[in-house]
Amino acid sequence: MKAHEIREMSQEQILQELEALERKVFDLRTQAETEELQVSSELRKARRNIARMRTILRERERAAGAAAAPAAKETETV
């Protein structure tokens, strides 16, 4: 999944997809341990998608915090 695709998703959609990917990583790790994993690159792709989603969620949190901070400073100086 590309970053621009994730940015188009809502917060709830990202969280749902993140939960599904974390479950998928668990399943893939289990398959790797039992030597049933057919495509080893799937584990790496899933972990990277999780990282992308967490990064975008964090960007949104920081943007929301930065937008609220100047408003708070303006009310303090008035």
Architecture of domain 3-77: Orthogonal Bundle (1.10)
3-state secondary structure the chain: CCHHHHHCCCHHHHHHHHHHHHHHHHHHHHHHHCCCCCCCHHHHHHHHHHHHHHHHHHHHHHHHHHHHHHHHHHHHHC
Q: Is the pLDDT of residue 11 over 80?
A: yes
For the stretch 35-62, pLDDT in tens is 999 998 999 999 999 999 999 999 999 9
Span 6-34, average pLDDT: 96
Which residue ranges make up each domain of the chain? Answer: 3-77
